[in-house]
Amino acid sequence: MSSQPVEDAAPVGRVQRKRGRRVQEILSTAAELFGERGYDAVSLDDVAERLDVTKGSLYYYFPGKDELAVAAIETLGADWTGRLERLAATAEGPPHERLRALIREHVAIAVGEYPAALRLFLVPSTWPDDPRERIKELRRRHDQVFRGVLEEGLASGEFAVTGLETTLQCMHAAMAQAPLWCGGLESDARERALDELADTLVKLVAAAQ
Amino acid sequence: MSSQPVEDAAPVGRVQRKRGRRVQEILSTAAELFGERGYDAVSLDDVAERLDVTKGSLYYYFPGKDELAVAAIETLGADWTGRLERLAATAEGPPHERLRALIREHVAIAVGEYPAALRLFLVPSTWPDDPRERIKELRRRHDQVFRGVLEEGLASGEFAVTGLETTLQCMHAAMAQAPLWCGGLESDARERALDELADTLVKLVAAAQ
Amino acid sequence: MSSQPVEDAAPVGRVQRKRGRRVQEILSTAAELFGERGYDAVSLDDVAERLDVTKGSLYYYFPGKDELAVAAIETLGADWTGRLERLAATAEGPPHERLRALIREHVAIAVGEYPAALRLFLVPSTWPDDPRERIKELRRRHDQVFRGVLEEGLASGEFAVTGLETTLQCMHAAMAQAPLWCGGLESDARERALDELADTLVKLVAAAQ
Amino acid sequence: MSSQPVEDAAPVGRVQRKRGRRVQEILSTAAELFGERGYDAVSLDDVAERLDVTKGSLYYYFPGKDELAVAAIETLGADWTGRLERLAATAEGPPHERLRALIREHVAIAVGEYPAALRLFLVPSTWPDDPRERIKELRRRHDQVFRGVLEEGLASGEFAVTGLETTLQCMHAAMAQAPLWCGGLESDARERALDELADTLVKLVAAAQ
DNA sequence: GATGAATGAGTTTTCATTCAT
DNA sequence: GATGAATGAAAACTCATTCAT
C-alpha cells in the first residue's frame, strides 16, 4: 500500500519500533478501560480520549473494537501470566508457602497495576465471541500455574481438597473480587487485607490435621 | 401486590391483580435477561421480544430502563433473600450443617431459577448509579444471612476464620461464579458439583483441629 | 470532545476555519428552521435533511438539540443586534427619523433574512430552559437599542409616551408579527407595508401637538 | 346500544346534558393547556391527567388531538368573541372611549380567564392545518369587532391611521403579548399596566390635532 | 501516520391512536 | 361511558466504522 523503497533489510527499523511503542500505549490504556468497565461500557471515544488521539487513529492500528479488546487482553495476559509463571518456577519453600506467594502476587498485580482488570477473569458473557475465547484462554493459563502448585501439594500430602477443579474455581473467584474490597484501602490496610485473603484461601487446601 | 387473605378494605380489584401479574411477568423476564447479560447488553427490545410485546408496552409499566432494572433486581432479591432468611431461621443442627445448607440453597436458587443472576452479586460498575445501589443493598441483605450463621459458629468455637469480612467475601465470590461451571452440567453431575462446592467453602471456616 | 460552536480567537488554522464554516452553515440552517417553526416542531432530522447530511453529523458538532438551538439563536442574535446597534450609532437626524429607520431595519432583517425568526422575540414557554434564557437575553439586547432612541426623544421633548416599558413592549410585539402579514407580499407591496408599519408604530411616541 | 325506554321524546335528555357538561370540562382544560404551551408541547396525557381521566376517555368524546384542539379553540373563541361583541354593541360614548373599553376587556379576559390563551392569536405555524384555520377564523372575528369601532372613528374623523390593516395588526400583536408582562403583576399593578396598555394603543389611532 | 468528518444502524424514549372489556 | 393495555411510528441520542486528505 505505501512505498518504502529499501525496507526488507531491516525487519525491525526505527519506524517499526515506534509503531510498537504506540501500540503498547494503546493496548495498556485499552486494557485499563476494558478492565474497569467491561466491553460494552467502553467506547472507542473513551479509549481515544484517554490517549489524547482521535478515534480514527485507533483504526490505523486495529481493525476494530473486538480486535483491540482481544489484543489488550492478550498483552495484559502475557505480562501477567509470565510473572506468575516465573514466581512459581523460582519460589522456594513448601507448597503451602508457594501457594500463598502466588495468591498474593496475583492479587497484587491486579490491584496495583491493572486496576479492576481481574474482572476479566469472570463475567464472560457480555463480551463478543472472539474476545471471550481469549479471556477463557488467559484464564486457563493462570489456572495452570495454580493447578501446578496444588497438584504438588496434593501429591506430597500437604494439601487436601474436596475437588481440585472446584477449589481452583473458588480461589479464582475470590481473587477476582479482591480489588473490589481492597482497591479503596490505604496501602497499610490493603497489605493486611491481602494477607488475610491469602490466609483465608489457603484454608481451602488445608489438610485436616 | 402481595396477597393477604381478608383484604377488601384495600381496593385491590381484579384489574389491580391482573396488572400485578403482568408486572411480575415483565420483572421476571427482565431479571433473567439482566442477570444473564448485564445492564448494557440488554436492550428494551430484547426484553419486549422475549415477552412478545412491543417496547412501548414496557413504558406503560415502567418509566424507563433504569427503573425496570431496579424493579427487577428488587423483586428477584426479595424472593431470594426471603427464602434464605426462612431457611436460616428454621434450619436445625450445628452451624456447620446450617452453613452448608445455606450455601446449597443459595446456589441452587441461582442455578435453577435465576440462571446467571448471581452475577448481580458481583460486577457493580457497569450499572447506572441507581440500580447499582440496589444491587449493593441486595447483597448486604444476603450477606446478613450468612454473617449470622458465621457469627454463631465463631461464638460457639466451632468455626475459626482469619477474618470475618474476608471469609464472607470469598464465599460470595465463589458462589457467584458457581453457575458458570455448574450451569451446563446434567442434573446428577450438577448435584455432585454443588455438594463439592459446599464442602469446599465450608473449609473456609473450619476450626483447626 | 467535539462541538465548540463558538470559536475562540487564536489558533485558527485552515482546519479550524473549515470547521467554523461548517458550523455556520449548520447554525444558519437551524436558526431558519427554529425561527420558522419553533423548538418542538423542528426535528434534528429536519435540520439534517435541509443540510443534506445525516442526523449523526449534527452530533459531531453539537452535543444535543438544546445546544444546537442555543447556538443558533446566539449566532442569529449576534448578527442581528450588531446591525441594529451600528445603525443606531450612525443614523442621523431627529430621534423620530432614527426610530423609523430602526424599525424598518429590524423588520427588514426579519422578513428578508431570517424569515419568521422574529417569532423568537415572543413565545417563551415552549422552549427548554436554557434556550429560553438565551432568547430573553437576545431580546434584552434588542430592547436596549430601541430604548436608547426612545429615551433620547423623550429627553428632547420630541417624544411623549404613556409608559416607556409598555411602549417598548407594544413595538416589539407588533414588529414580531410583521413577517406574518408582510412575508407573503411582493417586494413593492412589502416595502409599502413596512413603511406603513413604521409610520404606525412611530405614532406610539408622538408628542401631542 | 343501551336501553332507556321512553327517551325519544326529549332530544336533549339528562344524558345529553351530562355529556355536554363533560365535554365542556374537557374543552376548557384543553384550551388552558394549548393556550399555555402550544400544540406540540401538550400531550393528550397532559390533558387527561389534569382532568383526572384516562387518555382513552378523551377519544370517546373526540376523534383525535386535532379535533380536540379545534373544539377547544372554538369554544373559547365563542365565549370570548361573544363578550366583546356585546360590549361593542352596548358601549356608549365616543369611539375613542369604546375602543379603550374593548382593549381593556379583551386583555382582561385573556389575563384573567384564559391565561396565556391570547397566544393563540399569534404563532399559527406550528399548528396542524385544521386548527390553524380555526385560529385564523377566530382571529378574524375578533378583528371584526375592533375594525368596526375603528371604522366608525375614522368615519367621524375622530381617528386617523396610516393604514387600517396595519393598525389592527399592531393592536392585536401588542394585546397578545400583554399577559406575558402583566400576568405576574399584583392586581393593583396589573390594573395600572392594563390602563397604560390601553392608553398606549389608543395613540395608534390618534388624529393629529 | 493521523485526523476530522460523516455515516448508518441501533437504543432509549415519547405519544397519538386503537381496542377489548 | 370509561379504562387499562398495547401498538407503532417517530424523535433524540450513541457509537462502531469508513474514508478523504
State the Cα–Cα distance between residues C48 and C57, nearest whole angstrom: 8
CB contact under 8 A, B203 and A123: no
Predicted local distance difference test score (pLDDT) of residue C12? 65
B134 pLDDT higher than 70: yes
Residues 152-191 of chain C within 7 A of strand F, judged by CB, are none
Which is higher by pLDDT, A186 or A122?
A186
Amino acid at residue number D204: L
3-state secondary structure A25-91: HHHHHHHHHHHHHCCCCCCHHHHHHHHCCCHHHHHHHCCCHHHHHHHHHHHHHHHHHHHHHHHHHHC
Is chain A adjacent to chain D, meaning 3+ CB pairs within 8 angstroms? Answer: no
What does the mean pLDDT of chain D come to? Answer: 86
B55 pLDDT higher than 70: yes
- A54 sits within 7 Å of strand F by its CB: no
pLDDT tier at B8, thresholds 50, 70, 90: very low
- B38 sits within 7 Å of strand E by its CB: no
C35 pLDDT higher than 70: yes
Contacts of A123 in chain B (CB under 8 A): 38, 119, 122-123
Predicted local distance difference test score (pLDDT) of residue A79? 87
| Contact yes or no for D68/D51 (Cβ under 8 A) | no
CB contact under 8 A, A199 and B167: no
Predicted local distance difference test score (pLDDT) of residue C104? 93
C19-35 mean pLDDT: 91
- pLDDT > 90 fraction of chain A, expressed in percent and rounded: 49
> Which chains form contacts with chain B, at 3 or more CB pairs under 8 Å?
A
The residue whose grid cell reads 429615551 is C151
Mutating which of B32, B123, B159, B181 best tests the A interface, going by the most A Cβ atoms within 10 A? B123
3-state secondary structure D151-163: HHHHHCCCECCCC
B114-142 mean pLDDT: 78
Which CA-bearing residue is nearest the C1' of F18? A56
A112-132 mean pLDDT: 75
Check residue A159 and report its DSSP letter. Answer: B
Check residue A206 and report its DSSP letter. Answer: B
> How confident is the model over B69-107, as pLDDT tens digits?
999 988 888 888 999 999 999 988 999 999 999 999 998
Q: Which of A81-95, C40-54, C170-184, D85-99 has the lowest average pLDDT?
A: C170-184
User: Which of C119, C126, C177 is nearest residue D37 as measured by Cβ atoms?
Assistant: C126
Predicted local distance difference test score (pLDDT) of residue A6? 43
Grid coordinates standing for C122? 415572543
Confirm or reject contact between A194 and chain B (CB < 8 A): no
D34-51 mean pLDDT: 90
What does the mean pLDDT of chain B come to? Answer: 86
D6 pLDDT higher than 50: no
- A17 sits within 7 Å of strand E by its CB: no
A147 pLDDT higher than 80: yes
Confirm or reject contact between C169 and chain D (CB < 8 A): yes
**Nucleotides of strand F lying closer than 7 angstroms to a protein CB:** 1-20
Predicted local distance difference test score (pLDDT) of residue C135? 85
pLDDT tier at B11, thresholds 50, 70, 90: low
Confirm or reject contact between D184 and chain C (CB < 8 A): no
3 state DSSP class of D185: coil
CATH superfamily, domain A14-205, is Tetracycline Repressor, domain 2 (1.10.357.10)
State the Cα–Cα distance between residues C180 and C185, nearest whole angstrom: 10
Helix axes A44-51, A14-37, angle to 10 degrees: 120
**Nucleotides of strand E lying closer than 7 angstroms to a protein CB:** 1-20
Q: Which residues have C-beta within 8 Å of that of residue B173, sequence separation ≥ 6? A: A170, A173, A174, A176, A177, B122
Check residue B131 and report its DSSP letter. Answer: H
Which CA-bearing residue is nearest the C1' of E17? D64
C165 pLDDT higher than 60: yes
* Top CATH class, B72-205: mainly alpha
CB contact under 8 A, B170 and A197: yes
B40-62 mean pLDDT: 95
Predicted local distance difference test score (pLDDT) of residue D60? 94
Closest approach of chain B CAs to the CA of A200, in angstroms?
Answer: 6
B162-166 mean pLDDT: 94
C-alpha angle B7-B13-B14 in degrees, rounded to nearest 5: 125
Predicted local distance difference test score (pLDDT) of residue D130? 87
State the Cα–Cα distance between residues D85 and D78, nearest whole angstrom: 10
pLDDT tier at A7, thresholds 50, 70, 90: very low
Predicted local distance difference test score (pLDDT) of residue D133? 86
Spatial distance from the CA of A64 to the C1' of F17 (Å): 8
3 state DSSP class of D110: helix
Predicted local distance difference test score (pLDDT) of residue A5? 44
Contacts of D177 in chain C (CB under 8 A): 122, 169-170, 172-173
Predicted local distance difference test score (pLDDT) of residue C1? 43
Residues 86-145 of chain D within 7 A of strand F, judged by CB, are none
Predicted local distance difference test score (pLDDT) of residue B5? 43
Spatial distance from the CA of A56 to the C1' of E9 (Å): 19
| Contact yes or no for B103/A166 (Cβ under 8 A) | no
Measured CA distances, B206 to A202, B92, B202 (Å): 12, 19, 7
- B61 sits within 7 Å of strand E by its CB: no
The residue whose grid cell reads 413604521 is C198
C95-124 mean pLDDT: 81
- Residues written for chain A: 209
- A70 sits within 7 Å of strand F by its CB: no
User: Which of A40, A172, A174 is nearest residue B40 as measured by Cβ atoms?
Assistant: A40
